[in-house]
Amino acid sequence: MQLGIIIAIAIAIAAVAFALQNNVPVTVTFLVWRFDSSLAMVLLLALAIGAIVMALVTAPGAMRARWTLSRQRKEISDLRSQVSRPGPPEPPESAPRIETPL
């Protein structure tokens, strides 16, 4: 926790130093929009947009991994409870039950 705060403060100080050293005015034209700002703001905005896009692209894979891990932990817990109780093992829910006629 404290290490994360220290790293965040260091990044913020570096961003301020970057902005102070790159205050040249630039014009960005994209399709029909025209945007006038300092070079530092344009570059930091591009960095932020890139970080947001990266987060949106990687989020589904991270969510899928988290769901898989949760399902596997539940399955491990169920299997451990089956091993710890005496008696014949129960067939898995997905396996068809075979009944023999009497």
pLDDT of residue 71: 93
pLDDT of residue 96: 63
d(CA 32, CA 83): 67
| Residue 92: inside a domain | no
26 contacts 37 by C-beta, under 8 angstroms: yes
| Residue 68: inside a domain | yes
pLDDT of residue 91: 62
Could you list the residue range(s) of the whole structural domain that residue 31 is in? 11-80
What domain count does the chain have? 1
pLDDT of residue 88: 62
Give the gyration radius of the chain's Cα atoms: 28
Chain segment 31-90, per-residue pLDDT in tens:
888 988 888 888 888 888 888 998 899 888 889 999 999 999 999 998 888 887 766 656
Tell me if residue 18 falls in helix, strand or coil: helix
| Residue 6: inside a domain | no
